[in-house]
Amino acid sequence: MKHQLKTGLGFGSTSGIITTLGLMVGLHSGTHSRSVVISGILMIAIADSFSDAMGIHVSEESENTHTEKELWEATIYTFLSKLITPLLFIVPLLLFELSTAIIVSVIMGLSLLGFFSIYIAREQKKKIWRVVFEHLAVALIVVAITHYVGDWLSNKFV
């Protein structure tokens, strides 16, 4: 797999999963509103995909080792993966009751992150359990923190 594709998909999908799960869980805890959660996902898909694509572009550009074509390939792959990944999480919200959809989304997101982590560990010849644990731990910390922040905010301001 090309460096630009790996960079874009790796960063975009991982960031997309963790950011979307945190947003979903936090908004659900704070509002218990399907429309707010779906709106949040749509907004993060748009804003974060542009923001992170530009971040990858500048980061790769600052290395001063990539051609213009390579820079734009990494930028586009990041943009597309950051745009598409959050949109996947809308599907459970359309199929299930809100609380169930959140649980399904967390399981789906952690599974996707786990599979991607296994791929990375195998490619880098690292211990699979260690890479998977590291990535899932970060995602679970984000989910837990955003859940409690959402709860706190709903009790503080509502």
Question: pLDDT truncated to tens, each residue of the chain (158 aa)?
Answer: 687 788 888 888 999 999 999 999 999 999 999 999 999 999 999 999 999 999 999 998 999 888 899 889 889 999 999 999 999 999 999 999 999 999 999 999 999 999 999 999 999 999 999 999 999 999 999 999 999 999 999 988 76
Give the predicted TM-score (pTM) of the model. Answer: 0.90
Distance of alpha carbon 47 from alpha carbon 23, whole angstroms: 13
Cα torsion angle, 74, 78, 55, 136, sign: negative
Q: Dmax over Cα atoms in the chain, in whole Å? A: 52
Q: Is the dihedral of CA 144, 149, 150, 154 positive or negative?
A: positive
Q: Look at residue 53 and tell me if it is in a domain.
A: yes
Q: Structural domain of residue 98, as residue ranges? A: 3-151
Distance CA 154, CA 127 (A): 41
Count of structural domains within the chain? 1
- Phi and psi angles of residue 33, each rounded to the nearest 5 degrees, phi first: -120, 120
Q: 157 in a domain, yes or no?
A: no
**Is 61 part of any domain?**
yes
